[in-house]
């Protein structure tokens, strides 16, 4: 599916055209990246081909879609030297995982510790080796 921004030109900026698989990403996340790009442009951000843009933890790359529009490429997630491919499907999927992660945490949250203890398995799993203790 191809989606596009519609408000970037109001600020003298090229519009974005993005490729995304709607069967892999809910519509609200697709709309969110469109609104984010439009909002960034409205607040003065200027994007040029070759520039990188961090979306969640993923580093995307701005490329030309055609003479008048831009697009985003994402890492293919297979190559050790980063190879960018057209689209933002995996980027949005990874962002969804980030947004859902707090729901997977035990109730009560966590606290950062200075502990160097190793992780233990079982119902009282503690990630102390990573600097997290479940509260």
- Give the confidence band of 36 by pLDDT, cuts at 50, 70, 90: very high
- Exposed, middle or buried, 74 (CB in 10 Å: 0-12/13-18/19+)? buried
Query: What confidence score (pLDDT) does residue 80 get?
Result: 85
Q: Is the pLDDT of residue 130 over 50?
A: no
- Give the confidence band of 97 by pLDDT, cuts at 50, 70, 90: confident
Question: Are 18 and 3 in contact, with CB atoms under 8 Å apart?
Answer: yes
What CA–CA distance (Å, rounded) separates 13 from 39? 12
Q: Which residues of 92-126 are buried (b: 16+ CB within 10 A; e: fewer)?
A: bbbbbeeeeeeeeeeeeeeeeeeeeeeeeeeeeeb
pTM: 0.74
Average model confidence (pLDDT) across the chain: 83
């Amino acid at each position: 599916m191809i989606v596009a921004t519609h408000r970037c030109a109001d600020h003298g900026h090229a519009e974005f055209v993005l490729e995304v698989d709607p069967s892999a990403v809910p519509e609200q996340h697709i709309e969110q990246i469109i609104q984010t790009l439009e909002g960034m442009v409205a607040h003065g951000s200027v994007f040029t081909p070759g520039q990188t843009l961090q979306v969640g933890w993923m580093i995307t790359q701005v490329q030309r879609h055609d003479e008048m529009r831009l697009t985003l490429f994402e890492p293919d997630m297979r190559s050790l030297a980063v190879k960018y491919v057209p689209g933002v499907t995996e980027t949005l999927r990874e962002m969804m995982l980030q947004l859902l992660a707090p729901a997977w945490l035990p109730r009560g949250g966590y606290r950062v510790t200075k502990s160097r203890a190793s992780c233990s398995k079982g119902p009282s799993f503690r990630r102390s080796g990573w600097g997290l203790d479940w509260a």
